[in-house]
Amino acid sequence: MGIYLKSRRSIRNFSLQKVETKKIKQMLDIARYAASGCNSQPVQWLVVYDENVVRRLAELTVDWMSYLCENKDPMSAVLLSLKAAWDHGIDPVCWNAPHILIAHIPEKHPSAPIDSIIALTHFDIAAPAFGIGTCWAGLLTYAAQSWKPLQDMLALPQGRVISYAMVFGYPQYKTRRIPRRNPSKIVWM
């Protein structure tokens, strides 16, 4: 189990092959067993299966990035290089993944933000056992939390908000080694 967990990698190169819906349902079934505050199970899922919709969501995220850059947002320094990558045919939002998984939660639920991260982590950890790679989609998440055109496209049910997004698909390449990590900093009391 330790080797399996240590081997987990973010995948940023995906094959064009779609993941079978049966396989996605199996991974989501594992994720539903994730811990949640008071066993409230507040997490619901939006699976973006169509690659054209994935591409459109990435485009809307780039529009959000452009807006922030034009308005001199503090994130502009980082976003300018990501936008330049997009302009040169590189997708730094969804990494050309065929699918997106979006965890959405009740707007005012105290434990739901953490509950959704725990559930997404279950999906993330289960995915390699199914031959699937994942990558946490921070840019898409941040854009969807504030950019109205993106929120309109996602059309989440009333009273629910995006918690976090993850892109996934079959990896284009196999990874073989455990990534290097800094030693843990631990304080004992």
Over residues 27-48, the pLDDT tens digits come to: 999 999 999 999 999 999 999 9
In angstroms, the CA 73 to CA 64 distance is: 11
Number of H helices, E strands in the chain: 7, 4
Which 3 state secondary structure label does DSSP give 187?
A: coil
Task: Convert the pLDDT of each residue in 51-73 to its tens digit.
Answer: 999 999 999 999 999 999 999 99
Q: Evaluate if residue 176 carries a pLDDT over 90.
A: no
The domain made up of 12-169 has a fold known as NADH Oxidase (3.40.109)
Give me the pLDDT at residue 179, please.
81
Answer yes or no: is pLDDT of 174 > 90.
no
Q: Following DSSP, what letter does each residue of 18-48 receive, concatenated?
A: PPPHHHHHHHHHHHTTS--GGG----EEEEE
Q: For 147, phi and psi rounded to 5 degrees?
A: -95, 110
Task: Write down the residue that tokens 């005012």 correspond to.
Answer: 108
pLDDT of residue 144: 98
Q: Where are the domains positioned within the chain? A: 12-169
Task: Please calculate the CA angle 152-158-159 and round it to the nearest 5 degrees.
Answer: 115
Residue-wise pLDDT for 80-108, tens only, equals 999 999 999 999 999 999 999 999 999 99
Q: Are strands 133-136 and 160-169 parallel, antiparallel or unpaired?
A: antiparallel
